[in-house]
Amino acid sequence: MNDLYAWAAIALITLAATTGDVLLAYSMKRVGDVGELWKTHGVAAVVGRILTTPTFFLGVLAMAVAFYSLLFGLSWGNLSLVVPASASLTFVANAVAARIFLHERVGRRRWLAALLVAAGVILMAL
Amino acid sequence: MFHSRLLAAEGCQLAAVTFRKYLILAGIVVFSTLGDSLLARGMKELGAVSLHDFSGLLFAVVNPWVGFGVLLLLAFFASYMSALSWADLTYVLPATSLSYVLVALIGRIGFHEEIAPIRWLGIALIAAGVGFVAAGPSITPIRHRQPHSENTGPDLGLPSAVSQEVKP
């Protein structure tokens, strides 16, 4: 039963973290290259642009949900299961979500990278 | 929407990963690793925080380890947002996964923890993944950002119009 709770928490962490990453990436693409913006318009313009992007706050909210799900997941399951499982699933889920929602070009190279990192994270937790 | 903005950005060589941008990617790795380590060390000093009494967390930042850890995590978030403004999510995430390796190396060098062979294999896989993604383009040019297009791409070192146009 505890296992079921742990995997439910892992699923929730993965979903929330992926949602957060996609929303933050989308927001920052709308803001534009902050290095260029800083050079041309100053730091106040960068902060203002980010703070007037609603999806940025949704992304931060999703990240907060992921963080608190992690805390609850840790109280139900083992550290050595919850952290690597959710981290490696998030790498793979992000590759899928970035392709679908951000229309990023996820070719063989990036798929391989995501899978290698996900596998490596699991091995490092063993 | 953001498509028109990206179209404009493409004209000014947004895709080139300069030395400054590699520094920001390195910053993500270092700030997140050190921030987490300092936070963990400070929270161990403070002891368990009750879920029913959050006031303990308000005073946690007074602890120098925790306070400095939070500052480093803020620096991490700023560099992460910066990186996402000029690179794809599927580039930034694998490229910065070296933080897992750095944690293990800090444990090995700083605390003399043994690294088991299987964990060395994990480190090798992560490093290989980082190398793979870092050698490729950092951002999808806007004219290729078509929904539902087949994206097997000109990857794995094959020279093509796309991979050439996004190199520095």
pLDDT at B163: 40
Q: Give me the residue spans of the domains in chain B.
A: 2-144+153-165
Give residue-wise pLDDT tens across range B52-90.
Answer: 666 666 677 778 888 898 899 999 999 999 999 999 999
**Residues of B (101-120) whose Cβ lies below 8 Å from A:** 104, 116, 118-119
Q: How far apart are CA B1 and CA B140, in angstroms?
A: 17
Which tokens go with B90?
């599927």
Higher pLDDT, B19 or B5: B19
Band of pLDDT at residue B49, cut at 50, 70 and 90: low
Q: How far apart are CA B92 and CA A91, in angstroms?
A: 11
- By the 10 Å C-beta count (0-12 exposed, 13-18 middle, 19+ buried), A116 is classed as buried
Which tokens go with B7?
């179209």
CB atoms within 10 A of CB A90: 25
Q: How far apart are CA B4 and CA B27, in angstroms?
A: 30
Which residue, chain included where needed, has tokens 């139900």? A76
Asked whether the beta carbons of A21 and B83 are under 8 A apart, the reply is: no
Q: What proportion of chain B, given as a percentage, has pLDDT over 70?
A: 67
Asked whether the beta carbons of B36 and A61 are under 8 A apart, the reply is: no
Short-list B80, B94, B95, B87, CA closest to B139:
B87
SS3 A64: helix
Amino acid at B103: V
Asked whether the beta carbons of B153 and B162 are under 8 A apart, the reply is: yes
Say which residues have a Cβ less than 8 Å from residue B13's Cβ, sequence separation at least 6: none
Amino acid at B10: E
Asked whether the beta carbons of A86 and A70 are under 8 A apart, the reply is: yes
Interface test with chain B among A22, A23, A29, A86, by most B beta carbons within 10 Å: A29
**Residues of B (81-100) whose Cβ lies below 8 Å from A:** 81-82, 84-86, 88-94, 97, 100
Q: How far apart are CA B57 and CA B45, in angstroms?
A: 13
Q: Which domain holds residue A19?
A: 2-125
Section B101-123 average pLDDT: 83
Which tokens go with A115?
């899978």
Q: How far apart are CA A67 and CA A91, in angstroms?
A: 16
**Touching check for A102 and chain B: CB below 8 Å?**
yes
Tell me whether residues B132 and A22 touch, CB distance under 8 A: no
Which residue, chain included where needed, has tokens 């070009």? A105
CA A99 to mean position of chain CA atoms: 14
Q: Model ipTM? A: 0.88
Per-residue pLDDT of chain A (126 residues; tens, 9 = 90+): 567 888 898 999 999 999 999 999 999 999 989 988 988 998 899 999 999 999 999 999 999 999 888 888 877 777 778 888 898 899 999 999 999 999 998 888 899 999 999 999 888 887
φ and ψ of B148, to 5 deg? 65, 15
Average pLDDT of every residue of chain B:
74
Band of pLDDT at residue B103, cut at 50, 70 and 90: confident
pLDDT at B56: 64
- Is the pTM here over 0.80, yes or no? no
Band of pLDDT at residue B13, cut at 50, 70 and 90: very low
Asked whether the beta carbons of B75 and B10 are under 8 A apart, the reply is: no
Section B112-136 average pLDDT: 87
Domain tally for chain A? 1
Q: How far apart are CA B33 and CA B43, in angstroms?
A: 15
Band of pLDDT at residue B132, cut at 50, 70 and 90: confident
Higher pLDDT, B98 or B158: B98
Nearest CA in chain A to B120: A124
Model confidence at B12: pLDDT above 80:
no
Give residue-wise pLDDT tens across range B14-25.
Answer: 456 688 888 999
**Residues of B (30-49) whose Cβ lies below 8 Å from A:** none
Q: How far apart are CA A100 and CA A121, in angstroms?
A: 24
Model confidence at B124: pLDDT above 60:
yes
